[in-house]
Amino acid sequence: MLLYLSSNQNIGIFDFIAKEQGILIKKLSGEFNLKQFVLRDMRNLSHCTYIAIDLRALKDTEDELIEAITAFKSMYDSRIIIYAEGFKQGNFLLEKLVENDIYNIVTAISIDKIQSEILKCLSSEGMNRQDAMRFRNEISGEELINKYTFICENIQIAVFGVASKVGTTTTAINLANYLAFIGAKVCYVEANKNNHLDEIASFYKSMVRNDDSYKYMGVTYYNTSAQFSRDYHCIIYDIGELTKEKRSILRSCNINILCGTSKPYEISTVKDMLGIIEGLPVNIFLSFVPENSKLILKNMFDSKSKKVYFPNYTPDLFDSKNNENIYKETLKDYINEN
């Protein structure tokens, strides 16, 4: 079911999908304060797969709208579609929506293009980051977002941890989303026995199952046993906790990322893991490091073949931005920024 909060003049704009897609539509028309609606009324409509919001129907300020969207995302898993007919690139509100990971935005003005954009929003994946980046602002006539060239294909990246619960899976998925964000064709492979992928997909209902894989926000996800084509710019292997038996996987990869933490009693484990992969280049991602310890750890581990980074905390599995500078540095030999 699609819930449509509509202005009186746009009340019929989604009607065509009932016939073409067989989607039930529940319409509420008039003027709304979205923030109040989310907090007071949405709980009775939480079964809706989609919520379409006509910006003309809202009384919220731009800041209130963003607060309402943030609250909605924290409480519900319905896909948000913004109907913003005629809005142009550089619009501040649309840019703020994109920054808050809202990508399904309809801005066309002709009926055929409006319907085409709506159908894209309702497709299995919906619009992705690259689609929505057309709304970003411009600086001196140049697009704010840079274009990237991928120097080679099938770049294999191993992400592994010194122990469980040190952010290995989060790092691997964040990295995959960053690559998708800049235009790479990328896949994530759960190369461990944790079975986190099926649990993640059961929680995030928008992850689309396709035979032996999932598709979400521009990234293809495979579990341990899946057979897949290697037709990707980047393949990210989530190795899980590193063991001696997994060393051979690292030898076949172009980039190795070791995830760890920085408590004094945990640093010894990092040293042990570096002993296992002695002779292989590695990027060391150390989390939760206080400022006064960073230089000490840099001096301890940094070398020609070992680079130490201190990623920011990222509670969002699908974050692409919080550590983009670190990812860009890690991938610099394989990606050109034009």
Residue 320's CATH number: 3.40.50.300
> Above 60 in pLDDT, residue 156?
yes
CA 68 to each of CA 127, 204, 265, 292: distance values in angstroms, whole numbers, following the listed order: 21, 20, 43, 38
Length of the chain: 338
Residue 246 CA to residue 192 CA, distance in Å, equals: 10
The residue with tokens 């294999």 is 156
Which residue, of 93, 127, 143, is where some domain finishes? 143
Tell me the pTM.
0.66
> Is residue 77 located within the same domain as residue 186?
no
Q: Smallest Cα–Cα separation from 172: which of 231, 241, 248, 246?
A: 241
Please state, rounded to an integer, the average pLDDT across all residues of the chain. 87
pLDDT band, residue 140 (cuts 50/70/90)? very low
pLDDT > 70 fraction of the chain, expressed in percent and rounded: 95
CA 337 to each of CA 143, 148, 182, 185: distance values in angstroms, whole numbers, following the listed order: 13, 5, 10, 16
> Above 80 in pLDDT, residue 141?
no
pLDDT in tens, 212-221: 888 887 889 9
pLDDT in tens, 28-71: 999 999 989 998 888 888 889 999 999 999 999 988 999 999 89
Helix (H, G, I), strand (E, B) or coil at 126: coil
Residue 48 CA to residue 25 CA, distance in Å, equals: 9
> Is residue 262 located within the same domain as residue 163?
yes
Which residue, of 143, 159, 176, is where some domain finishes? 143
The conformation of residue 77, written as its DSSP 8-state character, comes to -
Q: Smallest Cα–Cα separation from 161: which of 311, 315, 59?
A: 311
pLDDT in tens, 75-115: 888 999 999 998 876 677 888 888 788 889 999 999 999 99
CATH at residue 71 = 3.40.50.2300
The conformation of residue 108, written as its DSSP 8-state character, comes to -
Helix (H) or strand (E) holding 159: strand 155-161
Count how many domains the chain has: 2
Q: Please state, as a whole number, how many other Cβ atoms lie within 10 Å of the Cβ of residue 74.
A: 8
Which residue, of 88, 109, 143, is where some domain finishes? 143
> Is residue 73 located within the same domain as residue 157?
no
pLDDT > 90 fraction of the chain, expressed in percent and rounded: 49
Query: How confident is the model at residue 130, as a pLDDT?
Result: 67
Q: For residue 187, which phi and psi values (nearest 5 degrees)?
A: -130, 155
Q: What is the dihedral of CA 204, 207, 212, 218, to 10 degrees?
A: -130
> Is residue 278 located within the same domain as residue 179?
yes
Residue 326 makes CB contacts below 8 A (sequence gap 6+) with 285, 309, 311
> Is residue 194 located within the same domain as residue 226?
yes
> Is residue 67 located within the same domain as residue 172?
no
Residue 218 CA to residue 58 CA, distance in Å, equals: 30
> Is residue 177 located within the same domain as residue 301?
yes
Residue 329 CA to residue 320 CA, distance in Å, equals: 14
> Is residue 133 located within the same domain as residue 257?
no
Domain with 73, as residue range(s), is 2-143
CA 58, 318, 133: angle at the middle one, nearest 5?
55
> Is residue 171 located within the same domain as residue 239?
yes
Residue 83 makes CB contacts below 8 A (sequence gap 6+) with 6, 10, 13, 52, 53, 54, 55, 56, 106
CB 72 within 8 A of CB 40: no
> Is residue 119 located within the same domain as residue 26?
yes
> Is residue 122 located within the same domain as residue 183?
no
pLDDT band, residue 247 (cuts 50/70/90)? confident
